[in-house]
Amino acid sequence: MDLRDRLAEAAREHGVPGAAVAVWHDGRLHEAATGVVNTATGVETTTDSVFQVGSTTKVWTAALVMQLVEDGLAELDKPVGEYLPDFAFGGVTVRQLLTHTAGFDGDVFEDTGRGDDCLDKFLVHLRTAGHVHEPGELFSYCNAGYCVLGALVAKLRGGTWEQALRERLLTPLGATHAALFGEEAVLFRASAGHVGPDAAVYPGWQMPRSNAPAGSTMCLAPRELVAFGRALAAGGLAPNGTRLLSEESVAAMLTPQVHVPGGGGALSDRWGLGVELFDWGAFGHDGGTPGQSTFWRVVPESDFFIAMSGNGGSFFGLMADVARPVIEEATALMVPAEPLPPEAPKPVDGTPYAGLYTGPQLGYEVAAAGDGLDVTLIPGPLMESMGAARTTTRYVHLDGESFIAIEAEGGRHDVVTFVMRDGKAAYLHNGRAVARA
Is residue 427 in a domain? yes
Residues 277 and 182 reside in one and the same domain = yes
Is residue 346 in a domain? no
Residue 264 has what pLDDT?
56
Is residue 347 in a domain? no
Residues 318 and 367 reside in one and the same domain = no
What are residue 375's DSSP bridge partners? 366, 393
- Residue 64: CB atoms within 10 A of its CB come to 24
Residues 381 and 273 reside in one and the same domain = no
Is residue 404 in a domain? yes
Question: Edge to edge, what strands does the sheet with 51-52 contain?
Answer: 51-52, 219-220, 178-179
Is residue 342 in a domain? no
Separation of alpha carbons 268 and 193, rounded Å = 25
The domain that holds 384 is classified in CATH as 2.40.128
Residue 175 has what pLDDT?
98
Q: Give me the active site residues, please.
A: 55
Is residue 248 in a domain? yes
CB 419 within 8 A of CB 261: yes
Residues 288 and 422 reside in one and the same domain = no
Q: What are phi and psi of 141, to 5 degrees?
A: -50, 125
Residue 266 has what pLDDT?
63
Residues 326 and 380 reside in one and the same domain = no
What are residue 276's DSSP bridge partners? 271, 284
Residues 60 and 88 reside in one and the same domain = yes
Is residue 405 in a domain? yes
Residues 97 and 181 reside in one and the same domain = yes
Q: Mean pLDDT for each consecutive 10-residue tract of the chain (437 residues)? A: 92 97 97 98 98 98 98 98 96 98 95 97 96 95 97 98 98 98 97 93 94 98 98 98 98 97 77 96 96 98 98 95 96 93 92 94 92 93 80 95 92 94 96 94
Strands (E), 92-186: 178-179
Which domain-ending residue is among 308, 337, 366?
337
Residues 322 and 366 reside in one and the same domain = no
Is residue 349 in a domain? no
The domain that holds 272 is classified in CATH as 3.40.710.10
Residues 309 and 163 reside in one and the same domain = yes
Q: What is the pTM of this model?
A: 0.96
Does the CA dihedral 159-161-164-167 come out positive or negative? negative
Angle at 325 between CA 319 and CA 327, to 5 degrees: 90
How would you class 73 by CB atoms within 10 Å of its CB: exposed for 0-12, middle for 13-18, buried for 19 or more? middle
Give the total number of structural domains in the chain.
2
Residues 327 and 369 reside in one and the same domain = no
Domain with 314 in it: 1-337
26: Cβ contacts below 8 Å, ≥ 6 apart: none
Residues 333 and 407 reside in one and the same domain = no
Residues 290 and 365 reside in one and the same domain = no
Separation of alpha carbons 129 and 132, rounded Å = 9
